[in-house]
Amino acid sequence: MFKPISKPIFIIAAVCCIAACSPKQQEAEVTAPNTLSKAEIADGWQLLWDGTTTNGWHSARGGAFPTRGWHIEDGELVVEHADGAESGNGGDIITDVKYHNFILTAEFKITEGANSGIKYFVNPEVNNPEVGSSIGCEFQILDDERHPDAKLGVRGNRTLGSLYDLIPAPADKPFHPGEFNKATVKVEGNHVEHWLNDVKIVEYERNNQMWNALVNYSKYKDWVNFGNFEEGYILLQDHGDEVHYRNIKIKTLN
């Protein structure tokens, strides 16, 4: 004769199953800030920032990591609020290593009215302005609603996610104010893409006549070989506004 399982045993079994199989628990383990999943490691991803130290980064002006203007808090790399000046506080920071073909991802959270940027193909030994930010192609980080730079430039090419001062991101891009958003830059040879929260928002080809004409119509027209370098450092910009970064990862391609 069939004998039903007693209720207490059933409840214990169900609880054990939930504890062992909870999708939320598994998701938390995979997406813990500043860590790599087993799948990411197998796919060749690396942490570009470890979440606790300044290892792998230094001042774009040379030497050590800035002693002011930046701090680490609760697994976040924070650009501190100052007066909004471009590289006027601690200054920009760049990676210790140059990169050629890669996929870069970084999560960012902007405060009200903030401005920052993620730059690539940065070569300060060639293009090194006496004041202001180091020169490179830029994934613009900006509060479009409150920062005046969003209204400058041409047709929105200084708004969030744009290739700064060159190619505008669409106005209906998937941005979540007050939350962490994911920026992605993908470089394969002369083909470059900007993604925001896993949606492609900018795409372009460099090292050609059209690209050079675009640069010549921008603020970068006088900088040597702008955007055409084979490799360069990756940069996080200090623009005197508070911006938080985390989960900075990179996968090098061929």
How many whole angstroms separate alpha carbon 57 and alpha carbon 54?
6
Report yes or no on 3 lying in a domain.
Answer: no
Q: How would you classify the pairing of strands 76-79 and 115-122? A: unpaired
Which residues have CB under 8 Å from 197's CB, separation 6+?
Answer: 174, 175, 176, 181, 182
Give the domain extent around 47. 34-252
In this prediction, residue 17 carries a pLDDT of 38
Amino acid identity at 125: E
| Number of domain units in the chain | 1
Domain assignment of residue 15, yes or no: no
Whether 82 maps to a domain, the answer reads yes
CB atoms within 10 A of CB 198: 9
- pTM score, whole prediction: 0.87
| pLDDT tens-digit profile, the chain (254 residues) | 444 444 443 333 333 333 444 434 434 445 799 999 999 999 999 999 999 999 999 999 888 999 999 999 999 999 999 876 777 788 999 999 999 999 999 999 999 999 999 999 999 999 988 888 899 999 999 999 999 999 999 999 999 999 999 999 999 999 999 999 999 999 999 999 999 999 999 999 999 999 999 999 999 999 999 999 999 999 999 999 999 999 999 999 98
In a domain, 234, yes or no: yes
Q: Is residue 13 part of a domain?
A: no
> What pLDDT is recorded for position 136?
97
Amino acid at 96: D
Asked if the structure places residue 6 within a domain, the reply is no
Question: Would residue 246 count as lying in a domain?
Answer: yes
Select from 60, 114, 117 the least CA-distant residue to 91. 60
Asked whether residue 21 is domain-assigned, the answer is: no
User: Which are the contacts of 237, defined by CB distance < 8 A and separation ≥ 6?
Assistant: 79, 86, 87, 92, 116, 117, 118, 119, 133, 138, 141
CATH assignment at residue 242: 2.60.120.560
